[in-house]
Structure 1
Amino acid sequence: MKKNLLVMMLVFLLTILAACAPDRAEETTPDDDGEDGTEVTEEAKPEKLVIWEDIDKSKDWLPAAIASFEKEHGIKVEFKELNMADKIRDQLRLDGPSGSAPDVVTLPHDQIGQVVIEGLIQEITVDDTVLKTYSESSVTAQMYDGKLYGLPKATETPVLIYNKALMEEAPKTMDELYAFSKDFTKGDNYGFLALWDNFYFAHGAIAGMGGYVFNESSEGLDRDDIGLNNEGAAEGAAYIQQWYKEGLFPKGIIGDSGGAAMDGLFNEGKVAAVMNGPWAFQGMRDAGIDIGIAPMPILPNGEQVKTFMGVKGWHVTEFTENPYWATKLIEHLSNDENSKARFEAVSEIPANVALVDDPIIADNEGAKAVAVQSQYAVPMPNIPEMAEVWGPMATALQTLATGKAQPQEALDEAVKSITTNIETNHPAK
Structure 2
Amino acid sequence: MNNKKFSKNILGLALTAAFCSPIAMAQQSLLVWEDIQKSFGNEEAVEAFEKQHDVKVEVLEMPYGGQVESLRMDGPAGTGPDVILIPHDQIGGAVIQGLLAPVKVDKSVTDSFSKSSIDALTYNGVLYGLPKSVETVFMVYNKDMIPELPETLDEIFELSKTLRQEDKYGLLAKWDELYYTYGILNGMGGDVFGKKEDGSYDSNNILLNTPGAVEGAKYIQKFYESKVFPTGIIGNNGLNAIDSLFTSGKAAIVQTGPWALQPYKEAGINYGVAPLPKLPSGEQMGSFMGVKSYSISTFSKNKSLAQEFITFVNNYDNAKRRFELTGEVPAVTKLVDDPVIKNDPGASAVALQSIHATSMPSIPEMNEVWGPANSALQLIATSKQDAKSALNSAVESINMQIEANHAMMGQ
In the alignment, what sits opposite 1:280?
Answer: 260
Taking the aligned partners of 1:395 and 1:93, their CA distance within structure 2 comes to 29
In the alignment, what sits opposite 2:155?
Answer: 176
* From 175, 183, 187, the counterpart of 1:208: 187
The alignment status of 1:361 with 2:341, answered yes or no, reads yes
The alignment status of 1:126 with 2:105, answered yes or no, reads yes
Paired residues of 1:209 and 1:233 also in contact (CA < 8 A) = yes
Cα offsets for 1:180-210 (capped at 9, x unmatched): 2232222531111111111111112111212
The alignment status of 1:375 with 2:355, answered yes or no, reads yes
Q: How does 1:105-254 map to 2 (within 5 A)?
A: 105-186=84-165, 188-217=167-196, 218=198, 220-254=200-234
**How far did residue 318 of structure 1 move?**
0.2
Amino acid at match of 2:190: G
The alignment status of 1:335 with 2:315, answered yes or no, reads yes
Say which is worse superposed, 239-248 or 307-316, in terms of deviation: 239-248
* From 415, 420, 425, the counterpart of 2:395: 415
Taking the aligned partners of 1:81 and 1:394, their CA distance within structure 2 comes to 30
Q: How does 1:255-266 map to 2 (within 5 A)?
A: 255-266=235-246
Which consecutive unaligned segments of at least 5 residues does structure 1 have?
1-44
Which structure: larger Rg? 1
TM norm structure 1: 0.85
Q: Give the direction of change, closer, same or farther, for the CA distance of 1:187–1:392 in structure 2 (3 Å limit).
A: farther
Amino acid at match of 1:92: L
Q: Give the direction of change, closer, same or farther, for the CA distance of 1:128–1:299 in structure 2 (3 Å limit).
A: same
Say which is worse superposed, 114-123 or 189-198, in terms of deviation: 114-123
Cα offsets for 1:218-244 (capped at 9, x unmatched): 273221111111122112111111212
Cα offsets for 1:272-317 (capped at 9, x unmatched): 0010111111222222211111111111112222211111011111
Cα offsets for 1:143-174 (capped at 9, x unmatched): 22222100100111111011111010122222
**How far did residue 46 of structure 1 move?**
7.6
Paired residues of 1:152 and 1:334 also in contact (CA < 8 A) = yes
Provide the secondary structure at the position in 2 that maps to 1:426: helix
Paired residues of 1:146 and 1:220 also in contact (CA < 8 A) = no
In the alignment, what sits opposite 1:93?
Answer: 72
**How far did residue 211 of structure 1 move?**
1.1
Which consecutive unaligned segments of at least 5 residues does structure 2 have?
1-25
Q: How does 1:13-24 map to 2 (within 5 A)?
A: none
Q: Which has the higher helix share?
A: 2
In the alignment, what sits opposite 2:16?
Answer: none
Cα offsets for 1:105-164 (capped at 9, x unmatched): 111112112211221111111222111111111111112222210010011111101111
* From 2, 26, 29, the counterpart of 1:48: 29
Provide the secondary structure at the position in 2 that maps to 1:423: helix
Say which is worse superposed, 357-366 or 403-412, in terms of deviation: 403-412
**How far did residue 328 of structure 1 move?**
1.7
Taking the aligned partners of 2:310 and 2:393, their CA distance within structure 1 comes to 43
Taking the aligned partners of 2:174 and 2:84, their CA distance within structure 1 comes to 32
Paired residues of 1:145 and 1:219 also in contact (CA < 8 A) = no
Q: Give the direction of change, closer, same or farther, for the CA distance of 1:286–1:52 in structure 2 (3 Å limit).
A: same
Taking the aligned partners of 2:239 and 2:85, their CA distance within structure 1 comes to 27
Taking the aligned partners of 1:75 and 1:331, their CA distance within structure 2 comes to 16
In the alignment, what sits opposite 1:57?
Answer: 38
Paired residues of 2:32 and 2:84 also in contact (CA < 8 A) = yes
Amino acid at match of 2:281: N
**Runs of 4 or more off by more than 6 Å in structure 1?**
none
Paired residues of 1:46 and 1:322 also in contact (CA < 8 A) = no
In the alignment, what sits opposite 2:82?
Answer: 103
**How far did residue 47 of structure 1 move?**
2.1
Provide the secondary structure at the position in 1 that maps to 2:103: coil
Paired residues of 1:310 and 1:380 also in contact (CA < 8 A) = yes
Give the total of aligned pairs.
383
Amino acid at match of 1:350: P
Taking the aligned partners of 1:399 and 1:92, their CA distance within structure 2 comes to 36
Taking the aligned partners of 2:306 and 2:238, their CA distance within structure 1 comes to 42
Amino acid at match of 2:177: N
Taking the aligned partners of 1:406 and 1:227, their CA distance within structure 2 comes to 17
* From 254, 267, 271, the counterpart of 1:291: 271
Taking the aligned partners of 2:352 and 2:27, their CA distance within structure 1 comes to 40
Taking the aligned partners of 2:94 and 2:328, their CA distance within structure 1 comes to 24
Taking the aligned partners of 1:75 and 1:244, their CA distance within structure 2 comes to 57
Taking the aligned partners of 1:101 and 1:403, their CA distance within structure 2 comes to 47
Taking the aligned partners of 2:167 and 2:404, their CA distance within structure 1 comes to 45
Taking the aligned partners of 1:305 and 1:289, their CA distance within structure 2 comes to 25
RMSD: 1.8
Taking the aligned partners of 1:204 and 1:117, their CA distance within structure 2 comes to 29
Provide the secondary structure at the position in 2 that maps to 1:201: helix
Paired residues of 2:27 and 2:54 also in contact (CA < 8 A) = no
Taking the aligned partners of 2:404 and 2:159, their CA distance within structure 1 comes to 46
